[in-house]
Amino acid sequence: MEQVLAATTVATGTQVLSPGAVTVENGRILAVSDVVPDGAPVRDGYLVPGFVDIHTHGGGGASVVGADQESVATFVRAHRRHGTTTIGASLVSAHPEALLRDVSALAELVEDGLIAGTHLEGPWIAPQMKGAHDPTTLRPPSPDEVDAVLAAARGTVHMVTLAPELEHGMDAVRRIAAAGALPAIGHTDADWETTRAAIDAGGSVATHLFNQMRPIHHRRPGPIPALMADPRMHVELIADGIHLHPAVIAMVRHAVPVDRIVLVTDAMAAAGQADGEYMLGDLAVTVSDGVARLVEGGALAGSTLTMDKAFRLVVQHGGFSVADAVLASAVTPARLMARDDIGAIAVGKSADLVALDPDLRLHRVWHQGEIVTG
């Protein structure tokens, strides 16, 4: 049955309609117009594409690590309630057997359509930039292991975060790119020159820019200026107001073309949940006032962010327009995942939609035309 959704502002990903109307049928978008059909109620607020998150570890009390089908389903539902209609599942650094087991179990969940892809964050990362990763699991990317993991994934890994300065690092970047996944530079102590070489080798995403990478020094620039400047790179931002000060988010918005910025949650199990005790991989985490830290050492251990909050923060405090935020939360991550059926409000795409109130608070979510919440 045909259904018309109209709002005072519809930001499609390519244009902003005020008002706008979206016609949905059988889970697909049938029409998009700035003429609202007679009798269709126009809701005060925004209609934007469903969010796409390429980097997230958990939510709703459940974690991706272990690749348990029920836990992953809980994680998907938790983020869907906050507007993320397409999600990549992120693993953390693990020992070789556990990594292979999880990658191959998640491959089935990607093939079933529950998740859109698997992101490997580590284990090939720099010990001095380990953040909340278990240091006993970190190692250089041996060509044999990289090939074995990619083979176990059967094409379902969409992104691999690694430190290119490690032994075999550049070779790993090339192997990952050749397998059709995005080599992501992160948890790295690389200098500027090494970072440039990694981009030449195929690096295309910066994993949570600024967090767990060598900081900028005006004579030793390190990775950050290289990652921001290169037109081949996309920079992830964890826009929770904790991992990055809003002033830094606004600086990135001014310095990097907005179609190269990607919002990610990097969320752990506590996203959408109360404060308390959680796990990130095998490490214990305490969440207090929504901030997740390792019990041991106190490093930030992922976020409790959901994409609706990130969207609101970058618009209200980060210098993004609503159209900019649509690019960073849907259009660009969908393009990075090579998905042309999602990521924008356009004829023929999946009816994945988010309605926001005038103050940008989440009102309602549709996934394939069905109401998820609201």
Catalytically annotated residues: 266
Among residues 189 and 324, whose Cβ is nearest to Zn ion?
A: 189
Applying the rule CB under 5 A, the residues between 172 and 231 that interact with Zn ion are: none
Q: Please report how close the Cβ of residue 270 comes to Zn ion at its closest, in angstroms.
A: 14
Q: What are phi and psi of 25, to 5 degrees?
A: -150, 135
Q: Give 208-238 as a DSSP string.
A: TTTTTBPPP-SSS--HHHHHHH-TT-EEEEE
**Residue 122 CA from chain centroid, whole number:** 16
Q: Given 3-state DSSP classes, what are the helix, strand and coil percentages for the chain, each rounded to the nearest 5?
A: 30, 30, 40
2 CB burial (10 A radius; 0-12, 13-18, 19+): exposed
Q: Please report how close the Cβ of residue 2 comes to Zn ion at its closest, in angstroms.
A: 41
Q: How are beta strands 283-288 and 276-280 bridged, if at all?
A: antiparallel
| Structure tokens that stand for 181 in this block | 């996944």
Q: Which stretch binds Zn ion (CB under 5 A): 13-21, 69-77, 113-121, 331-339?
A: 113-121
Q: 187 by DSSP, 3-state: which? A: coil
Among residues 298 and 348, whose Cβ is nearest to Zn ion?
A: 298
Q: Please report how close the Cβ of residue 187 comes to Zn ion at its closest, in angstroms.
A: 9
Dihedral of alpha carbons 90, 95, 98, 100, sign: positive
Q: Which residue is nearest to Zn ion (CB)?
A: 266
Among residues 91 and 344, whose Cβ is nearest to Zn ion?
A: 91
334-343 burial, b at 16+ Cβ within 10 Å, e below that, comes to bbbbebeebb
CA 44 to CA 113: how far, in whole Å?
33
Q: Please report how close the Cβ of residue 161 comes to Zn ion at its closest, in angstroms.
A: 7
CA 297 to CA 287: how far, in whole Å?
14
Among residues 65 and 152, whose Cβ is nearest to Zn ion?
A: 65
CA 189 to CA 33: how far, in whole Å?
49
Binding track over 252-281 against Zn ion, x by CB under 5 A:
--------------x---------------
Q: Please report how close the Cβ of residue 351 comes to Zn ion at its closest, in angstroms.
A: 29
Applying the rule CB under 5 A, the residues between 336 and 365 that interact with Zn ion are: none
Among residues 280 and 355, whose Cβ is nearest to Zn ion?
A: 280
Q: Give counts: helices (H), strands (E), the chain.
A: 10, 21
DSSP-assigned letter for residue 36 = P
DSSP-assigned letter for residue 32 = E
Q: Which stretch binds Zn ion (CB under 5 A): 108-116, 120-128, 209-217, 292-300?
A: 120-128
**Contact call for residue 165 and Zn ion (CB under 5 A):** no
CA proximity to 272, closest of 309, 247, 301, 244: 309
CA distances from 263 to 138, 258, 259, 295 (A): 26, 11, 11, 27
**Number of residues counted as binding Zn ion (CB under 5 A):** 2
Q: Please report how close the Cβ of residue 135 comes to Zn ion at its closest, in angstroms.
A: 16
Among residues 240 and 266, whose Cβ is nearest to Zn ion?
A: 266
- Name 267's bridge partners: 303
DSSP-assigned letter for residue 275 = S
**Contact call for residue 121 and Zn ion (CB under 5 A):** yes
Q: Please report how close the Cβ of residue 322 comes to Zn ion at its closest, in angstroms.
A: 26
DSSP-assigned letter for residue 327 = I
Applying the rule CB under 5 A, the residues between 46 and 85 that interact with Zn ion are: none
Q: Please report how close the Cβ of residue 345 comes to Zn ion at its closest, in angstroms.
A: 29
Q: Interface with Zn ion by CB under 5 A: which residues?
A: 121, 266
